[in-house]
Amino acid sequence: MLAAQQRPRLIDERGLRTDGRRPDELRPIRIELGVLKNADGSAIFEMGNTKVIAAVYGPKEMHPRHMALPDRTVLRVRYHMTPFSTDERKNPAPSRREIELSKVIREALESAILTELFPRATIDVFMEVLQADAGTRLVSLMAASMALADAGIPMRDLIAGVAVGKADEVLVLDLNEAEDMWGGADMPIAMMPSLNKVVLFQLNGTMTPEELRQALELAKKGIAEIYQLEKKAIKEKFVEVS
């Protein structure tokens, strides 16, 4: 790790961030549903320079059959970064980090999907990070949630999530890679907003109890904005088709 004096300044004298945003500002978001013809559901989710495509297959019969569960659907989830998603080529083989994030994302999706409606079945969810600039676990989770909605799979709610962190001791919403790398904390959180339920919560770094309280407030504000855009994207698809 570089010495402290070599770290870039994350907040300038005007109080703006490295990409010109205010501390409480999200990156531009683009959501598009139904982008793949061969999947049952698909979506592209972009948050600034972080871009993820998700594809959903199912519900379908589980093979091998002994892996099926009698009371609910088995979710099989893969989070993966493409070799060209990072500044240096990423080894395409699944890393420990990708295996762990696949599990974290699966658990979040399991709380949203009504898996009890499709016993003995399976749903496959694939997420490919096309370009990484921090926040890929959340953008992947949201892309998956949009692709599941596109596939018509019943869910308790959509999932919206954002990371809050500390840049030069200032709480900032929706970290970019520089802030993720050089900032004092990274707190990704995802919710089912209309149910006020948290489905993913992690914290890297340190925050005081007061900072944590403020970070949660900031995250909730960002999540509410993202949720509106998600609903708009679904309505647009529905109007287009009908």
First-residue to last-residue Cα distance in the chain:
54
> Among 42, 79, 109, 133, which residue interacts with ligand ADP (rule: CB under 6 A)?
133
| Structure token digits, residue 180 | 């993720």
114: amino acid identity, one letter: L
Q: Is residue 160 helix, strand or coil?
A: strand
| Structure token digits, residue 193 | 């907003």
Closer to ligand ADP by CB, 137 or 237: give it.
Answer: 137
Residue 137 interacts with ligand ADP (CB under 6 A)?
yes
Residue 135 interacts with ligand ADP (CB under 6 A)?
yes
How large is the greatest C-alpha to C-alpha distance in the chain, in angstroms? Answer: 61
Closer to ligand ADP by CB, 109 or 153: give it.
Answer: 109
Query: Over the Cα atoms of the chain, what is R_g?
Result: 18
Please state the closest distance from residue 91 (CB atom) to ligand ADP, in A: 8
Residue 98 interacts with ligand ADP (CB under 6 A)?
no
Sole window of 2-10, 119-127, 131-139, 149-157 interacting with ligand ADP (rule: CB under 6 A): 131-139
Please state the closest distance from residue 185 (CB atom) to ligand ADP, in A: 11
Residues 34-37: contacts with CB within 8 Å, 24+ apart? 34/150, 34/237
What's the rounded Cα separation, in Å, for the pair 51 and 144? Answer: 12
Please state the closest distance from residue 236 (CB atom) to ligand ADP, in A: 27
What's the rounded Cα separation, in Å, for the pair 230 and 62? Answer: 30
Sole window of 1-9, 19-27, 130-138, 227-235 interacting with ligand ADP (rule: CB under 6 A): 130-138
Please return the burial class of 99, using the count of CB atoms within 10 Å of its CB with bins 0-12, 13-18 and 19+: exposed
Q: Interface residues for ligand ADP in 76-95 (CB under 6 A)?
A: 86, 90
Closer to ligand ADP by CB, 74 or 189: give it.
Answer: 189
Please state the closest distance from residue 28 (CB atom) to ligand ADP, in A: 17
Catalog residues that contact ligand ADP under the rule CB under 6 A: 86, 90, 132-137, 177, 180, 186
